[in-house]
Structure 1
C-alpha cells in the first residue's frame, strides 16, 4: 500500500517540479525581455550627436537674437529683463558655416508699479550665419529684411523659395504670452523691490 502511494506521489511531484521549473524559466525570460526592452528604450532616449548639435545651435540662435536686439530698445535704471522666442524654418550647413533661416520674437521688460511691463518688442524673419569649431557656434552675421516697401523684395533676395512658400510668420499663437510669463517669473524670483538689471 505504501509502495502504491509512493509511486503515485513521485510522478505528481515530478510534474510539480517540471511545471515550477518552466514557470521559473518563463519568469526569468520575462525579466530578461523586460531588461532588454528597458535597455532599448534607454538607448533610444539617450541624445545622439546630432541632437547635441541641435541643442547647441538652438542656444546659439537664442543668444544671437538677444545680443542683436538688446541695444535697439530703451534702457532705464529700473530692473530689465530680455527674452526671445524663435522658430527655425531651415538650416543650411556648408563646411564649418551654418545659415539658419528663422522667425524671431524679441521682448524686453522693466519692473514698474509691481509688475512686468513690456518696454520693447519686435518680430521678424531673419538669417543668422554661424561658424562652428569644436561644437561651439559663433554668430558672424545677423540679417533682417528691409522695412517698408522694400520688405518683400528684400526677403525674396535672401530667403529660399521653399521657406517663403511655407511662410515666415510665427506658427505659435501664444509666443508673446510665453515671453510675458518668463518676465513675470523672473521678476517674482528677484523680489518686487529689487532694482538690479538682468544680465
Structure 2
C-alpha cells in the first residue's frame, strides 16, 4: 500500500514536472517570438525636391523627389521589409519594389529610400493660352501662381505609410507612419493596423 502511494507520488511528480517544462517552453517560445525579439523600425521623410518642364508645348511634366529614411532602433534584425499602400500614398513606383535591394535591416542601422512622384498636366490647363480666331496666343505667366503646391500629390500633403517586417522567428510587426502638415508620427503595431479600417486614419494621425 505504502509502495503504491510512493509510486503514485513519484509518477505524479514526474508528470507535473513534465507539464511545467512543456508550459515553460511554450511560454518562452511565444515570449521570444512576440515580445522579446521585436525589431522597432521608425520612418522619417526628408525635404521634397520639385522640378517642372514643358514637353512639346503640349504638357507640363511635374516631378517631386523625396527621401524616406528607415531606422532600426532595436538590437534585433528586421527581415522581409515591404510597404503596404495607405490612403494618400501616390508614388509612381510600386512601393513593394522600393526595398528590393534591402529586404532586411540590421540592428541599430538605417536605410534611405528615394522615390519619385510625377504628374502630367495638359499645357493649356496651366499656361495662359487664348484663341483669337484661328490664332493660338500664349501670354506670359501661368494660371496658377504656385503650380508645385496646386498640383502637389495628396501623398505629399498627407503621407500615410505602413511598413511591414518580421523578426527572426517569422512574426510580423508593423510601423504606421504619418506626415500631416509637416508633423511626423510613428506608431508600432504587433498586428496589421489595416484591420482598424477608418479608425486608423481618424485616431492615428
TM-score under structure 1 normalisation? 0.34
Q: Which has the higher helix share?
A: 1
Larger Rg: 1
In the superposition, the TM-score normalised over structure 2's length comes to 0.33
Going by fraction, where is strand more abundant, 1 or 2? 2
